[in-house]
Each structure stands twice: as C-alpha cells, then as structure tokens.
Structure 1
Amino acid sequence: MKSIMMLISMAILLNVTFTSEAIAQQGMSWHGSGGWGHGSQYGMMYDPQTIESISGDVVSVDKVTLMHGMHYGVHLTVKTAEGNVSVHLGPAWYIENQDVKITPNDKVTIKGSRITFDGQPAMIAIEVRKGNEVLTLRDPEGYPVWSGWKRQ
C-alpha cells in the first residue's frame, strides 16, 4: 500500500512540474535581437549622420536573411523618382506582429539611415509612413524598438 501511495505521489508531482512549465511557456517566446540589435555587426551600420527621407511606391515586400547568423527580416524595394531603393525594416517576427501592414503598391514615405550593404545603396528604416499610419522601427540614435530597452 505504501509503494502505491509513493507511485501516485510521484506521478502527481511530475504532472504538476511539467504542466506548470508548459503553461508558463504558452504564448511566450524569447526572440532576442537575432542579429538585428543596435550593437550587432548589422546594427552598427546605422549612421545617424546619413538620415534622410524618401517617398515612393512599394514594389516588393520580401523576407530575407541579410547576414550569416541573423534571423530573417523584412525588406522592401521602393520605387522612387531616382530609382529603386532597398529598405531594411527589421526582424520578421516583429514586423509581422505590427498593426501597420506594408504591401506592394502602397505609397510610402520612409525615414532612415542610408548605408551601403553588399556594395549596394540601401536604407535602414527608422519609420515607414503609409497614409495616416506610422510604423516606428528605431529611435533617432538607431536603437530598435523591438529591443525594449535603451542604453542608460
């Protein structure tokens, strides 16, 4: 009888342990910066001295991996009066969970830091304006909003 009670107690203890862990993890996942953080190799390309705005039509919205080891992100090609511009928004897990949705043929104004990426001109977006909607991605110093904190 003692051994049966011991087995039942162990079963209950294991059930409570694993059930509480599963409940605690439901709906929660840690993404980290995935290489998109301010201090990452990619993040250090952001230059507050090269901030400018462009306007145009979205030609394409793509999921891309920009550098080895980075999580995939969202990239726009925007047709401006001067030609097409590559615009890097941020990690897909963040962009896909925002209320502002950017789609091909949208008219947008983008504020961002001009960079050279893989030998080609590009822009790291600070914000994307679509009509009255604004998708904010970084503060003026380049700290990504998905980081959730800033340097003190």
Structure 2
Amino acid sequence: MKKVGFLAALIFVVCLSLVSESFAQRGMMWKGSGGWGMGTSYGRMYNPATVETISGEVIGIDKITPVRGMSYGVHMTVKTDKETLSVHLGPGWFIENQDIKIKPKDKIVVKGSRATFDGKPAIIAAEVKKGDEILKLRDENGFPVWSGWRRR
C-alpha cells in the first residue's frame, strides 16, 4: 500500500510541475521579435551608411510602439550640443533585461543610424556607452543582437 501512495504522490508532483511549466510559458508569450527583427519595415530603417556618433545628456526615457502591431520599445530623448534627438534603443523585453540601466541626467555616447521617424530626425542606436559600460544593440551591419535572444 505504501508503494501505491508513493507512486500517486510522485505522479501528482510530476503533473503539478508540468502544469506550472505550461502556465509559465504561456505568460512569456514569445512571438518572435515582436516586430523588431531586421526584415521588418522598422528594422530596415537602420542604414549602416548613415551611422554616426553623438554624445549628450539623457533628458527622458519612454516606452513607444514605433509601428502598429509591434511590441513596445524603449526610446530616449538626448540633448546634444547641437540638437535634441530621439534615440530608439530596442524592444522593451530586451532592454529591460540588460544589466546597464540608463536614466535621465546620464551622460552617454550613442553610435547609431540617423533616420527620420514621424517626420523628425532620430537615431536608431547600435551602441550606447555610459561611463565604462556599453549596451550593444546591433552589429556593424545593423543586425539586432536580440534576434534569437532569450532570457536565461
């Protein structure tokens, strides 16, 4: 009788772990890159020929949805000596899981592709330096580092 009780308890624990794993995966809702991939219309806005480096102070950080149907992304406003620019970092699910945290009043250096977004100049960031820390977002061809990325 003890063996039957032990076996029933073991089956219960295994079933419980499978059910909780199922709910955990459903909560993640992974659906590719959420529209942030290289082949999307937004991803094609990055042009390696228009890459430049700017430096300035972060005056704001916001969540935006660049194109309808995309998952939200993280965007910051940076004031340089010459202008105030919108800097697009990447998908929220990626940016929010990085060790480097950027906040208003931080002095940063951004390398990225200059583009026009909603009729205004913007930078689609490839790299952000804050002090000795570097947030790498795209390679030299503009390929997003979050493609294929999963939280470990």
Correspondence for 2:61? 61
- 1:38-77 matches, within 5 Å, as 38-77=38-77
**% of aligned pairs identical?**
56
Residues in 2 aligned to 1:95 and 1:25: alpha-carbon distance in whole angstroms: 24
Residues in 2 aligned to 1:130 and 1:105: alpha-carbon distance in whole angstroms: 11
What is the CA-CA distance between 1:83 and the residue it aligns to?
1.1
What is the CA-CA distance between 1:19 and the residue it aligns to?
4.0
Q: TM-score, normalised by structure 1?
A: 0.83
Residues in 1 aligned to 2:31 and 2:91: alpha-carbon distance in whole angstroms: 10
What is the CA-CA distance between 1:22 and the residue it aligns to?
2.5
Q: Secondary structure at the match of 2:40?
A: coil
What is the CA-CA distance between 1:13 and the residue it aligns to?
7.5
1:81 maps to 2:81:
yes
What is the CA-CA distance between 1:55 and the residue it aligns to?
0.2
Residues in 2 aligned to 1:21 and 1:136: alpha-carbon distance in whole angstroms: 36
Correspondence for 2:92? 92
Residues in 2 aligned to 1:103 and 1:97: alpha-carbon distance in whole angstroms: 15
Residues in 1 aligned to 2:19 and 2:144: alpha-carbon distance in whole angstroms: 30
The amino acid of 2:124's aligned partner reads I
Residues in 1 aligned to 2:78 and 2:66: alpha-carbon distance in whole angstroms: 17
The amino acid of 1:51's aligned partner reads V
Q: TM-score, normalised by structure 2?
A: 0.83
Deviation larger for 76-85 or 15-24? 15-24
Segments of 5+ residues of structure 2 without an aligned counterpart are 1-7
Q: Secondary structure at the match of 1:101?
A: coil
Aligned-residue CA RMSD in angstroms?
Answer: 2.5
Deviation larger for 28-37 or 45-54? 28-37
The amino acid of 2:132's aligned partner reads N
Aligned length: 141
